[in-house]
Structure 1
């Protein structure tokens, strides 16, 4: 008689524990068994069993001297291969991002929208030339509603998708001026689409101001967005028009390279929904 399969809820619980262990290893780099068990909210014996399986599969290794665990590069390799589908976006974005970086000296980021959750994921960046600047990490995720990248991505999506995503957002307040309701964000998105760029001032992080513009595919839908991030004290209001022109020029160039043939960002035609 074949063995009975464990209940579905047990399978789900096991998967959740595996990912809790992985996230703890990502956050802390090197972690002892007791700390990992506590972070994953499971017993030491369960954590040890999961870790041993990950060691056997080559995703985790244990330091023989400290007995602490850390991730190997195998997981990084999986993540890098998952970006293969974004190769065209990276190809067209990298040169224009480099140009933005040289022109402003500020942090330049490239983000894509999560297909299943209301987050933007950072997939490429140019660090600031200044010591005091916004620091981003590749693979890091931020909520769509609080970031200029997220707003730029949302504004160039179909109205039905925008409505669906707004209905599912929790609008967590992350900084002094985070948008906390759907009506306000919806109104902003209309203006963003018309002007050709998105902006946020202390909505994601106190003391930081960002602006972003989308990269559009051949259908005119956003597939990525490019942002410039400034510390508030270093933003020159007198140069804002220059920053916007640079940013939109880069977005337009990258979009054309992906096959977009519509009106340029920031034009009257570009401000109307298709």
Structure 2
């Protein structure tokens, strides 16, 4: 019984540490009281955790304002964690830059997080327009409601797709969010047949997105690239041209990673 209680306390402590970190990510400079409130813990506990993080180099305190903020240590950890994906980022950046220059719209790169079945935004080009979809690096979105997520799912093994869908809760975030396993499977089949994924107000109201997978040398979908339009700026007459362009650029990125058309064209 004591062992179980110790384990529960350890889990609670870890959760408090991340709550403190997340509060500092959301607001760069906070007082002790602010952090305790956001992390839903006592000031004494927050103070103890902050002192430990300061000693480890993750947090710093401004002695003049008595406010706390993150150092670049977390950024360093994140940068090291994606070093193994440097080839992917290099290959994707080249085509994302082209697509950005050609369209002026928001371009995003996402990868699949196998832990919580979500797409994580790891690279982006912001729109040239004031009115546009804004994404944040590190943002996580559901697979079922995003073009990036569908592009990452559609070219996987059917059994893998079924298993991932079985773990989805089909959270509704926009007017047209898919809420059915059957509808999603049908959408993924259509996605694979036409070579790109699409969503119209499924993730965010007023936004239309198209995405393509990026394959590695083994033909595995290791990332997806999307373009996002506000509905009012999307020209339906140009849809075939945009679709072909994004497919061609996705293939170009895949070829840079050693993908062979013999494995099946994306």
Taking the aligned partners of 2:83 and 2:17, their CA distance within structure 1 comes to 25
Post-superposition offset of 1:108: 0.6
Counterpart in the other structure of 1:16: 15
The within-5 A match list for 1:107-146 is 107-146=106-145
Secondary structure, aligned partner of 1:116: coil
Counterpart in the other structure of 2:156: 157
Taking the aligned partners of 2:44 and 2:260, their CA distance within structure 1 comes to 59
Secondary structure, aligned partner of 2:82: helix
Alignment partner of 1:246 is 2:245? yes
Aligned length: 264
Given that 1:156 and 1:220 are in contact with CA atoms closer than 8 Å, whether structure 2 keeps it comes out as: no
Given that 1:110 and 1:227 are in contact with CA atoms closer than 8 Å, whether structure 2 keeps it comes out as: yes
Q: TM-score, normalised by structure 1?
A: 0.92
CA shift digits 1:87-130 (9 cap, x unpaired): 11111111111110111110111110002111111111111111
Post-superposition offset of 1:176: 1.1
Post-superposition offset of 1:148: 0.4
Taking the aligned partners of 1:191 and 1:219, their CA distance within structure 2 comes to 23
Taking the aligned partners of 2:69 and 2:240, their CA distance within structure 1 comes to 47
Taking the aligned partners of 1:242 and 1:193, their CA distance within structure 2 comes to 18
Post-superposition offset of 1:187: 1.1
Q: TM-score, normalised by structure 2?
A: 0.95
- Segments of 4+ in structure 1 off by > 4 A? none
